[in-house]
Amino acid sequence: MLSEKVLSKICEKGILLFGCGGKMGHYYMEKLKNLGVNEAYIIGIDINSENLEKIRTKYPSAYYYSDWDGHITPACAIIAVNSTAHLPVIKECYAKKIEKIFIEKPLVYYQSELDELRKFDNSNLYVAHLINFSGIVKNLIEYAQRKNLVMVQAFSKWGKNWPGEKRIMGGDAEEELPHPLALILALANAINGDITIKDIVSHTSMIPHVQPEYLEGAKDLELDFPDKMNDSTLLGFNILTQSGSIPVHLSTSFNYCKQNRLVEISFRRADSESLIPTEKAYLEFDVNPFKEIFESLCYSTPIPLVKIEEEVRSFLNDGYADLLSGNRDRLLIIDAISNQTVLTNEYKGDKIQANLQAALEVLLGNGIDFRLTDFNQAKYLTSLIQKIIG
């Protein structure tokens, strides 16, 4: 639940949700209700009339408009429109004196858009990077600090099969790559200290990943997606820190066979001159245990009996509904020398809701949350990705 202070401000002025009828708009409407916001204080905006009617049917007590005339100034705005529309919606908010904004990632696509945003006071603008709100991220940082470890290398494989999705999406480098990239940079900053990026080497490919009819629909809605969008990115760079250099290797794609959301981190002891890793961490996000088993059977991959036993125990302990509907994030830390497990953890919380709650508490309650991505951090990520794309 949101604090009383934040809820009272929303009750007084309302909260604006741009893109309310889209996938993320539906999520945010649900999460706002979970956090104690009455539907009657939510103002939904969507230029897609069909989507607007669908969300109105599901949440009838909210107010809905196809555009916003600014007749009142809400407490804050949530922007969940397609990425190509981010800049004009941000500018519209500022023009109508809405200065507190929480927006889906990426902030914007292009350097020219960043240059336009620099004209404004963006001190109350936060960008959603929900992976930072997984409990396993906090667990890993605390473990590294407790054991006096520093990062020595990082890897990631991240992406999914987007041609199977029935909606538009921009390029991999702009939309998918930011997830592991932002996470690895945040971990390096928290564990090793101040960071600098050097020696960027990258390659992108342009295999189509969005069905043509959905791109045509985007043009009808005046969403300016490029004719050719990168589908996959191979990226290497070094993070320079006060505790040494961290080589990073990332592979992301919208054309994988199935979803991958994996990050691996190698550590060494901070008080040792040796660079040989002493511990290694494996983080996997949004895993559904039953789906894992079914996919394993489909791909004719043997499943260890101990794994089936573990999942059955989880089924009995957690309950049928939780296991079928709830994804979870997993952390595994091993001793790199003995290859023995030293720590495992699992997070079943709602990252979208946690990210939204933290943003609203900071924007409307004057709180502080290190997990949030502010404008300066988002600006840095966008500039870095533009360098990667070239």
Q: Dump the DSSP string for 292-352.
A: HHHHHHHTT----HHHHHHHHHHHHHH-HHHHHH--EEEEEEEETTT--EEEEEEE-S-HH
pLDDT of residue 315: 57
pLDDT of residue 320: 47
178 or 298, which is more confident: 178
pLDDT of residue 215: 74
Instruction: Among 85, 110, 129, identify where a domain stops.
Output: 129
Whether 316 has a pLDDT exceeding 90, the answer reads no
pLDDT of residue 228: 73
Whether 308 has a pLDDT exceeding 60, the answer reads no
- Please give the mean pLDDT across all residues of the chain: 89
- Yes or no: say if 372 and 152 are a contact pair by the CB < 8 Å rule: no
pLDDT of residue 390: 73
247-262 pLDDT, tens digit per residue, is: 999 999 999 998 999 9
Residue 311 lies in a domain: no
Q: Per-residue pLDDT averaged across 108-118, rounded?
A: 93
Q: Are residues 193 and 213 in the same domain?
A: yes
326 — pLDDT class (breaks 50, 70, 90): low
pTM greater than the 0.85 cutoff: yes
Whether 243 has a pLDDT exceeding 70, the answer reads yes
Residue 82 lies in a domain: yes
Q: Are residues 150 and 78 in the same domain?
A: no
pLDDT of residue 312: 56
Percent of the chain residues past pLDDT 90, beyond the cut: 75
Alpha-carbon distance of 310 to 323, in angstroms, equals 12
Instruction: Among 129, 153, 182, identify where a domain stops.
Output: 129
Alpha-carbon distance of 279 to 331, in angstroms, equals 13
Q: Are residues 55 and 174 in the same domain?
A: no
- CATH code of the domain covering residue 77: 3.40.50.720
- Name the burial class of residue 14, with classes exposed (0-12), middle (13-18) and buried (19+) by CB atoms within 10 angstroms of its CB: buried
- The pair of structure tokens assigned to 145 is 């600090």
Whether 114 has a pLDDT exceeding 60, the answer reads yes
139 or 324, which is more confident: 139
Q: Would you tell me how many other CB atoms lie within 10 Å of the CB of residue 216? A: 10
Q: Per-residue pLDDT averaged across 68-77, rounded?
A: 88
| Angle, vertex CA 255, rays to CA 249 and CA 259, nearest 5 | 75
For the chain, the domain total comes to 2
Select from 228, 249, 74 the least CA-distant residue to 155: 249
Q: Are residues 156 and 236 in the same domain?
A: yes
pLDDT of residue 321: 46
Alpha-carbon distance of 292 to 317, in angstroms, equals 19
Q: Are residues 66 and 150 in the same domain?
A: no
Whether 264 has a pLDDT exceeding 80, the answer reads yes
pLDDT of residue 327: 85
299 — pLDDT class (breaks 50, 70, 90): low
Residue 314 to residues 311, 317, 318, 354: CA-CA distances in angstroms? 5, 5, 6, 24
Q: Are residues 153 and 280 in the same domain?
A: yes
Select from 266, 342, 328, 268 the least CA-distant residue to 292: 328
- Yes or no: say if 121 and 243 are a contact pair by the CB < 8 Å rule: no
**DSSP readout, 18-87?**
ETTTSHHHHHHHHHHHHTT--GGGEEEE-S-HHHHHHHHHHSTTSEEESS---SS--SEEEE-S-GGGHH
Q: Are residues 172 and 211 in the same domain?
A: yes
197-238 pLDDT, tens digit per residue, is: 999 999 999 998 888 877 776 666 666 666 678 999 999 999
pLDDT of residue 295: 57
Residue 241 lies in a domain: yes
- The pair of structure tokens assigned to 341 is 């497990």
Q: Are residues 163 and 229 in the same domain?
A: yes
Whether 186 has a pLDDT exceeding 70, the answer reads yes
